Amino acid sequence: MDVFDGHIYAKGSLILNMLQDYFGDDAFWRFIQHYTKENQYKNVETPDLKKAIEEITGQNMDWFFKQWIYEPGFPEYNVTWKYNQRNKSVKLTVKQTQKNTNIFKMPIQIRVDDELHTVWIEDKDMVYEVPANKRPKMVIFNAGMRIPCKLTFNKSISEWILQLEKGPHILDRIAAAKELSTKKGRHIVERALLNAAKNDPFWGVRKEAVNAFAKLKSKKYAEDLMSMAGRQDNRVRRAIWNALKNYKNDELVSTFLQDVISTDEKYYSVADAFKALVIVDTAAARQKVDALLDTDSHTDVIRKSAITYFGSVVTDKNYDRLKELVAYGGTTWDARPEAVNQLTKYVKTKPKTVDLFVDMLKDNSRDIRRNAVRALNKHGKRTHIGALDELLARDPIISRDVRSAKKNILYPPKKPAKKGPEKQLEEANKKLDDIRKLTK
């Protein structure tokens, strides 16, 4: 389990954000200034930040750093609520359900309609009474998603729809969209997500609403998706192209995607539209692929997209075309590695493809070598260990990929569901990825 990856920086920012919420802006900036002044021109570690906080605030922060940094996992909450008419209050039942024994202690904001309340969560099972003069229409636990956690909130579909429509914070609306993506076969859910995709003021919510709608696998509303694309942020439009993959063999969708490919000036939009067309209308995609292979774009994204056709449509002819493309000079330097990725889709029907990956370990392109190692990670055998060791000696920069491949070849992983800290880390990394995407 490798924890030293790009997510470590994102988690650091979330921890600072929690500290700012906990202490308030004034104290937060005072200890940040103290921390930078005391440690200027020095190397620092986590205890240096903890020391600065304690010196300025006078509070012992052992509990905070222990649970968020030094111990594994994150809180998993199961929450229910009901209204007590007699006491004029909302009764919240909160359970921490994470499988490790750590109980997280944190203040969490609860939104009841337009009012915010802060409660301390510090035990495995807790019940809270929050004042409310009438039965609220909207109750949000962990308002604004300020605490990194996994949340199961047992609310009705109508409550989730209201949160999607009226939630004041973008992350609350995104959380509602993701929850609604699990409610398949309900017309009211489909319309709510389409409405958010069209009208929400923030592009990130609109994009997640489209993604959620796509997960419903609805065969209706193709025209709604196409009509709303006109003035959308390009990131939302690309999500729409992905959602249109659900309309296989739909002539109107095929014509629409072909028009995007022919007329759109955005490189990434064209690339994603082509990937959707491959699913919707394979024959039409075949007519476009050669022209796209000759199209230059940022990071060669269009050419890479065209190459995916040969892996998506598995034929002997397309297999031979991929071997031509992956050969030195077969296509551009940046696009060749994508041909390696697509060749992996032929391993089952053409086992000798694995030998090609072994040969690629000697390629001049590090990206080719790295993708070949990753292919061997999935399909390699013990006889390939020597070639991997030779590569490691020549190119230590990709040592992480080589070590991972050797480990999986020598000790094939079992496939039962992941448990404990490893599963929690995977879920946390996914959440961090989702947050990072909103900044791109």
Residue 326 pLDDT: 97
**What are the φ/ψ torsions at residue 148 (nearest 5 degrees)?**
-65, 120
> Which CB contacts under 8 angstroms, 24+ apart, belong to 150-153?
150/74, 150/75, 150/76, 150/77, 150/98, 150/424, 150/427, 151/76, 151/77, 151/79, 151/175, 152/76, 152/77, 152/78, 152/79, 152/97, 153/77, 153/79, 153/80, 153/179
What are the C-alpha distances in Å from 129 to residues 88, 91, 138, 372?
9, 5, 16, 58
Burial 261-299 (b: 16+ CB within 10 A, else e): beebeebbbbbbbbbbbbbbbeebbeebbeebbebebee
Q: Is the pLDDT of residue 101 over 80?
A: no
The per-residue pLDDT for range 211-232, each reduced to its tens digit, is 999 999 999 999 999 999 988 9
pLDDT bucket at 1, cuts 50 / 70 / 90: very low
Q: Please, which pLDDT band fits residue 18 given cuts at 50, 70 and 90?
A: very high
Give the DSSP H or E segment for 281: none
| pLDDT, tens only, 140-172 | 999 999 999 999 999 999 999 999 999 999 999
Q: Please tell me which residue, 310 or 431, carries the higher pLDDT value.
A: 310
pLDDT of residue 436: 57
Residue 430: the pLDDT is 67
On average, the pLDDT of the chain sits at 93
Per 3-state DSSP, what percentage of the chain is helix, strand, and coil (rounded to 5)? 60, 10, 30
Mean pLDDT calculated for residue range 341-362:
97
Residues pairing with 76 in the sheet: 150
Q: For residue 407, give the nearest of 422, 428, 392 by alpha carbon.
A: 392
User: Given its phi and psi angles, is residue 21 left (phi above 0), alpha (psi -120 to 50 degrees) or beta?
Assistant: alpha
Mean pLDDT of 21-37: 97
**Average pLDDT of 36-48?**
96
pLDDT confidence of residue 96:
96
- The first and second tokens of residue 56, run together, are 């300025």
pLDDT of residue 435: 59
Q: What pLDDT, on the 0 to 100 scale, is given for residue 440? A: 55
Beta bridge partners of 106: 121
pLDDT computed for residue 33 by the predictor: 98
Q: What is the pLDDT of residue 145?
A: 94
Residue 394 has pLDDT above 50, yes or no: yes
Q: Which residues contact 27 (CB under 8 A, 6 or more apart)?
A: 56, 57
Q: Across 5-14, 62-71, 412-421, which has the greatest mean pLDDT?
A: 62-71
Which carries the bigger pLDDT value, residue 404 or residue 422? 404
Give the pLDDT band (50/70/90) at residue 420: low
